[in-house]
């Protein structure tokens, strides 16, 4: 089971941020404070064999397969600050935000389908540095952290019982950005 759980750490992660920086009305910070929206998603699909499984009807143990296909979706708003380095060729940024996270896991345990779903509020924070390649295009490195706990329901396992799942994670991302 430990091997199966370690496989869950490898995810496809995708996302997009849109930011607007204020130009007037904030004094000396006029171009360095902004607001934005963030979308982030993760996807994992794994299969493990030889997982111990306790049968409900006779309490016997069988060794079978465990397949999980899960995804998370986060959407939220954030407050951002940035600072330019040198002749505006590079800059550092940071943001903090709050949003909604959705969790969905389509699992197959010993050939029985189980659907696990849940949603909650989550908090996000990012810090990074972008290197402008052209006036409108940059490549950057960022570290992102999300904090959230989802109450989820296990579908088609009787009785349906609420449980908590920790959605908190840390990402280090190499990305491309477009500036206008």
Q: What is the pLDDT of residues 94-129, one digit of tens each?
A: 999 999 999 898 888 777 788 888 889 999 999 999
pTM of the model: 0.80
Listed by start position, the domains of the chain span 2-178
Q: Which CATH class is domain 2-178?
A: mainly beta
Asked whether residue 33 carries a pLDDT value surpassing 80, the answer given is: yes
Phi, psi dihedral angles at 28 (to 5 degrees): -70, -15
Q: Is 96 helix (H, G, I), strand (E, B) or coil?
A: strand
Question: Which residues are 40's β-sheet partners?
Answer: 15, 74
Structural tokens at position 68: 């999980």
Asked whether residue 28 carries a pLDDT value surpassing 80, the answer given is: no
Eight-class DSSP state of 25? S
Eight-class DSSP state of 159? S
**What is the CB neighbour count within 10 angstroms for residue 14?**
11
Structural tokens at position 124: 């996000």
């Amino acid at each position: 089971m430990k091997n199966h759980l370690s496989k869950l750490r490898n995810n496809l992660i995708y996302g997009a941020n849109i930011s607007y920086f204020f130009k007037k009305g904030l004094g000396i910070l006029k171009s360095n404070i902004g607001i934005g929206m963030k979308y982030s998603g993760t996807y994992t699909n794994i299969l493990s064999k030889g997982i111990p499984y306790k049968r409900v009807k006779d309490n016997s143990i069988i060794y079978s397969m465990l397949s999980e296909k899960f995804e998370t979706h986060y959407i939220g708003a954030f407050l951002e600050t940035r600072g330019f380095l040198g002749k505006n060729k590079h800059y550092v940024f940071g943001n903090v935000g709050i949003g909604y996270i959705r969790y969905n896991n389509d699992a197959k345990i010993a050939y029985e389908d189980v659907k696990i779903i849940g949603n909650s509020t989550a908090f996000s924070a990012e810090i990074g540095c972008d290197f402008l390649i052209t006036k409108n295009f940059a490549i950057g490195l960022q570290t992102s952290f999300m904090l959230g706990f989802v109450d989820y329901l296990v579908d088609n396992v009787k009785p349906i019982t609420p449980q908590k799942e920790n959605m908190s994670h840390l990402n280090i991302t190499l990305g491309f950005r477009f500036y206008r």
